[in-house]
Amino acid sequence: MEINERTANLLDIEKVLEGLSPITPYGLKLKSLMVPFEKKQKAELQKELDRIEKIKELIDTQRVLFVEIRTHMRNIKDLKKSVENCISGVVLSSVEFFEIKNLVGIMRSISESQSGLHWNIPEKYKIRVLEEVEKLLDPDDTGLKTFYIYDSYSKNLKEIRERKAKIEKNLELLKISKRKEIEKETNLELRTTGDITISRKETTLIKKLLDYPKLVISSETYINITFKIRPDEDMAVLMKEIEEIKETEVLEEMKILEDLSKKLAYLGRDIIDNMDSIGQFDLLIAKAYLANALNGVKPIISENTKCIIKNGRHPVVEKGLRKKGKTFTPISVDLDMGVAIITGANMGGKTVSLKMVGLLMLMMQYGLFVPAENMESSLLDFIFISAGDEQSLDSGLSTFGSEMKSMKEMLYMSDMQGMILIDELARGTNPREGFAISAGIINYLMKKPCITLITTHFDGLVKESIKHLQVKGLRNVDYEKVGSPEIISEHMDYTLIEIKEEAKVPKDAINISRLIGIPEEILDEAERIMDT
């Protein structure tokens, strides 16, 4: 589906997608890659919408399981690069193995939660228990989250560690013996670590210990001096052996990490497949939660070129109104191939209605539920909107020039099956020429296979073959209460009604001006001019 950046911005699709909140790095990545479904992908889109519907049902009936699943998902880190590195031959570190082990444990937890869902889970969303990876990273079946280079990985490693432990024990026995010997000779009590801290105020004792050959200074401050046991020849031999055997241990551990990396590389694809499934499942759940948040419904995909929306709501505008304690007036439209025109005064909600149609259409093709009572529409090749002040300072074009530049792009696309939305066509030039250009564009678009929706102030554009939608406008207003623009929104009925007979564009502008407080003398003159 073709949609340019300006149309996407004007339709507020990014603001809607801000409410789409996957939790995992894999789900967030998929969200960033989302694009509208193409017309040829109707079957795929239908499946996606059906799956969202199923997840919505499951969230209602098995909410606790989804809380569990999303809690597990919050602990997932993006380790795809580490696994890909492993597959390509890089030796992973102990920290990376620890993180992968944790991730595989989370995958097990999500898989177990999935098994409790009342759903025959499609393969792309199914997270599998990776038993081979679990066994590789926890060979002793401890069930612990920590990763350790276990003795069972290597007979050599086990022997090295046993030899090191034996030497360390002998060294410790020597230290204990030496400590007791020193305590007896100095009448001082050393810590079990073999050191003692003396205050600098005890100058006599410090001088004595400085001359004592079996102790040596290990550290000092301006307050204290700490002494430790000076290693004798036997202790020095054992300490050297320990350092040498530690080097041997490190080399053996490096060999084991290399071997583990090779073994994990063979299983890496399974881990990545699970990562992808987590991302898909996460994004699907997020779509279902968004549908609930918007009180959305599953749109019906039609074979015929049309767009029917019953009681649709613009979610971004609705959110803003809700913050002010107001409600959005639902809008209904029934559009077919051809041209439909919306008329009504400024502040009557024509632009919001226009954008709502485009946004809900775009949401459907993004594979999202739509905020409406129901919606049925065909899939489109493109959506294009021309709205707002089109003036381009960069190119030096006027408002009208920029609008016509956009119109040229739109007309070029009009041979495809798409949706064209135009707000106040030809607003940037004089009314006489603006009317003529508008009529020409409308006649041109009536021959095209598009759904076209246009808002206008011009009289005379609506013909018999054009659907005419009109904002109901101001209702039940006491025009004596002037000076408060708030009265407008309170009494404006934004509902669209279809006008079957020929009708002029309603002139609520004078009444709106009266409500705002424009002097009555001016408005009386305007009404006299209108009547002549």
Based on the fold, state whether residues 51 and 144 are members of the same structural domain.
yes
Owner of token pair 């409790």: 116
Which of 367 and 529 is assigned the larger pLDDT?
Answer: 367
**Whether residue 304 is found in the same domain as residue 424:** yes
pLDDT beyond 60 at 452:
yes
Structural domains of the chain, count: 3
User: Who contacts 341 (Cβ-Cβ below 8 Å, separation ≥6)?
Assistant: 442, 453, 454, 455, 456, 461, 462, 466, 467, 468, 469
CA 497 to chain centre: 38
Q: Taking residues 167-177, what's their average pLDDT? A: 95
The DSSP result for 357-369, as a single string, is HHHHHHHHHTT--
Question: Do residues 149 and 256 touch, judged by C-beta distance below 8 A?
Answer: yes
Position 370 scores a pLDDT of: 98
Judgement on whether residues 457 and 488 belong to the same structural domain of the protein: yes
pLDDT above 90: residue 479: no
187-197 mean pLDDT = 94
Two tokens, residue 488: 């407008």
| Residue 256 and residue 153 in contact, taking contact as beta carbons nearer than 8 Å | yes
Nearest to 127 by CA among 286, 271, 284, 283: 271
Please give the helix or strand (H or E) that residue 302 lies within, else none.
strand 300-302
CA distances from 364 to 6, 41, 50, 213, 276 (A): 19, 13, 12, 86, 24
pLDDT at 532: 67
Q: 451 and 523 share a domain?
A: yes
CATH number, domain with residue 48: 1.10.1420.10
Place of tokens 């109901």: 472
Number of neighbouring beta carbons within 10 Å of residue 64: 9
In a domain, 358, yes or no: yes
CATH number at residue 385: 3.40.50.300
437 falls in which pLDDT band (50, 70, 90)?
A: confident
Mean pLDDT of all residues in 510-529: 70
Q: In terms of residue numbers, what domain contains 41? A: 5-151+255-293
Helices in 187-232 by DSSP H: which ranges? Answer: 203-210
With 60 as the cut, is the pLDDT of residue 60 above it?
yes
Residue 355 lies in a domain: yes
Name which residue leads in pLDDT, 433 or 423: 423
**What is the DSSP code string of 140-176?**
T----SS----GGG-HHHHHHHHHHHHHHHHHHHHHH
Listed in sequence order, the DSSP H helices in 294-348 are 315-323
Q: Does 243 have pLDDT greater than 50?
A: yes
pLDDT of residue 391: 39
Residue 249 inside a domain? The answer is no
What's the rounded Cα separation, in Å, for the pair 54 and 121?
A: 10
* pLDDT level of residue 394 (50, 70, 90 thresholds): very low
* pLDDT tens per residue, range 341-386: 998 766 658 889 999 999 999 999 999 999 999 999 999 999 999 8
Interatomic CA distance for residues 330 and 347, integer angstroms: 16
Most confident of 280-294, 316-330, 461-475: 280-294
Joined together, the tokens standing for residue 13 give 């699709």
Q: Strand order in 300-302's β-sheet?
A: 300-302, 374-378, 306-312, 331-336
Residues 6+ apart with CB under 8 A from 114: 69, 121, 126, 127, 281
Distance set, CA 470 to CA 69, 104, 340, 422, 502 (Å):
48, 59, 10, 15, 12
Give residue 491's pLDDT band: very low, low, confident or very high (50, 70, 90): low
Helix (H, G, I), strand (E, B) or coil at 451: strand
Residue found under tokens 């060999």: 255
Which position has the higher pLDDT, 511 or 57? 57
Q: What is the pLDDT of residue 405?
A: 77
Residue 109, token pair as written in the block: 């937890």
To which residue do tokens 């995909």 refer?
A: 301
Tell me which of 98-102, 230-234, 468-472 is least confident: 468-472
Over residues 482-489, mean pLDDT: 55
Do 280 and 180 share a structural domain? no
Question: Does 402 lie in the same domain as 456?
Answer: yes
Is residue 420 in a domain? yes
In the predicted structure, residue 396 carries a pLDDT above the cut 70:
no
**Mean pLDDT highest for which of 135-149, 264-278, 393-407, 460-474?**
264-278
Among 240-244, 279-283, 394-398, the least confident range: 394-398
Q: Which residues contact 365 (CB under 8 A, 6 or more apart)?
A: 1, 36, 37, 45, 379, 380
124: in domain: yes
pLDDT band at 488; cut points 50, 70, 90? low
Look up the pTM and report it. Answer: 0.85
Whether 508 shows a pLDDT value over 70: the answer reads no
> Does 476 have pLDDT greater than 60?
no
* CA pair distance 527, 515, nearest whole angstrom: 15
Q: Are 496 and 355 members of one domain? A: yes
Mean pLDDT across 142-153: 92
DSSP state of 397: B
User: 305 and 263, same structural domain?
Assistant: no
Q: Please name which of 385, 382, 291, 308 lies closest in space to residue 11, comparing C-alpha atoms.
A: 385
Task: Please state, rounded to an integer, the average pLDDT across all residues of the chain.
Answer: 89
User: How many Cα atoms within 13 Å fall on the side-chain side of residue 349?
Assistant: 28
Pair 225, 269 in one domain: no
Per cent of the chain over pLDDT 90 is 71
Domain match, 430 and 287 both? no
Strands (E), 128-185: none
Query: Do residues 239 and 251 touch, judged by C-beta distance below 8 A?
Result: no
Q: Say whether pLDDT at 287 is over 50.
A: yes
In this structure, the answer to whether residues 269 and 416 fall within a common structural domain is no
Q: Do 476 and 382 fall within a single domain?
A: yes
Q: Count Cβ atoms within 10 A of the Cβ of residue 267 and give its class: 0-12 exposed, 13-18 middle, 19 or more buried.
A: middle
Could you say which DSSP state residue 326 is in? -
Tell me the mean pLDDT in the region 390-415: 67
- In this prediction, residues 198-219 reach a mean pLDDT of 94
Q: Would you state the structure tokens that stand for residue 197, as one six-digit string?
A: 């801290």
CA 393 to chain centre: 34
Which of 144-158, 194-208, 398-412 has the weakest average pLDDT?
398-412
Residue 44 falls inside a structural domain: yes
Tell me if residue 256 falls in helix, strand or coil.
helix
Q: And the tokens for 373? A: 């009572």
DSSP 8-state assignment for residue 152: G
Q: Is the pLDDT of residue 225 over 70?
A: yes
Residue type, 144: L
DSSP label at 297? Answer: B
Does 244 fall in a domain? no
Residue 405 or 411, more confident: 411
